[in-house]
Amino acid sequence: MQNRYFIVDKKVLPEVFSKVIKVKKLMAQDNTKTVQEAAACVGISRSAFYKYRDYVFELGENSTERTVTLGANLSDKSGILSDVLNVIAEKCANILTINQTIPINGVANVTITIEIGIDTKIDSVLDELSKINGVYSLKILARE
């Protein structure tokens, strides 16, 4: 069964949904807070939080951004990875993870997972990255 989502004004929803969002925000802002403490601060029970936490999101929190994992073979020269990261940042993509192998025969394998907004075209990111001197190969390994 496919999930279906609705956008609903919070004015018509039970107050517990807004409080679940508040608990999530409290816990994100203060990592030392327990669920019990955060729930007590906003006036709901722990069980109410756990019941709804995976189903209630603020608009934008569970957005339509795409996650793309890129694989690249880069020259083992100073500044090449930095150039790659700068292009990704310039294209308004958010870098989530970077994994690099130890260079062998002057080539390092790098896996970079990025989050791309709706306005960003992955093709334009790949085009710019392929223009960098020292990027030997580049491919998309996964998309979400």
**CATH classification for the domain delimited by 66-143, as one of 3.30.930.10, 3.40.50.1820, 3.30.70.260, 3.50.50.60:** 3.30.70.260
C-alpha distance from residue 53 to each of 13, 25, 98, 124, 140 (Å): 15, 12, 29, 37, 33
* Beta-bridge mates of residue 140: 70
Q: What is the pLDDT of residues 34-93, one digit of tens each?
A: 889 989 999 999 999 999 987 887 765 445 557 889 999 999 999 999 999 999 998 878
pTM (two decimals): 0.56
For the chain, which residues make up each domain, given as ranges?
1-62, 66-143
Q: What is the pLDDT of residues 102-142, one digit of tens each?
A: 999 999 999 999 988 767 778 888 899 999 999 999 998 88
In 30-108, alpha helices (H): 35-42, 46-52, 80-90
Residue 67's Cβ-count burial label (10 Å; 0-12, 13-18, 19+) is middle
